[in-house]
Amino acid sequence: MAAQSNTSAPPPMTPQQRLAIMLQPKSPSEILISKSPHQGGVNWVLHDQATGLLRYVNVPYMDSTGQQSASPLTQ
């Protein structure tokens, strides 16, 4: 039995593409209010002026293999 390839599946995203998506404003009123470097990376804090919600995104520094995993934190 031959394996079928799914040609409609998108290629895997690069760490930079994932980061760009995570740091895009979630609404027109969301702005960056803080970028705080730390030992493992940078914490971004975004504020939605319309709702008052804060969004935290931790962006770890890339390791020696070029891998980076961004993890969103919401409050």
For 22-47, write each residue's pLDDT tens digit: 888 889 999 999 999 999 999 999 99
C-alpha torsion angle, residues 3, 8, 9, 11 (rounded to 10) = 110
Please indicate, yes or no, if residue 33 is contained in any of the structural domains. Answer: yes
Please indicate, yes or no, if residue 20 is contained in any of the structural domains. Answer: no
Please indicate, yes or no, if residue 32 is contained in any of the structural domains. Answer: yes
pTM, 2 dp? 0.62
When pLDDT is cut at 50, 70 and 90, the band that residue 19 belongs to is confident
Task: Kindly report the average pLDDT of the chain as a whole number.
Answer: 80
Question: Does residue 65 carry a pLDDT above 60?
Answer: no
Our count of domains for the chain comes to: 1
Cβ neighbour number for residue 49 with a 10 Å cutoff = 12
Please indicate, yes or no, if residue 46 is contained in any of the structural domains. Answer: yes
Range of the domain at 49: 27-55
Question: Does residue 70 carry a pLDDT above 80?
Answer: no
Please indicate, yes or no, if residue 6 is contained in any of the structural domains. Answer: no
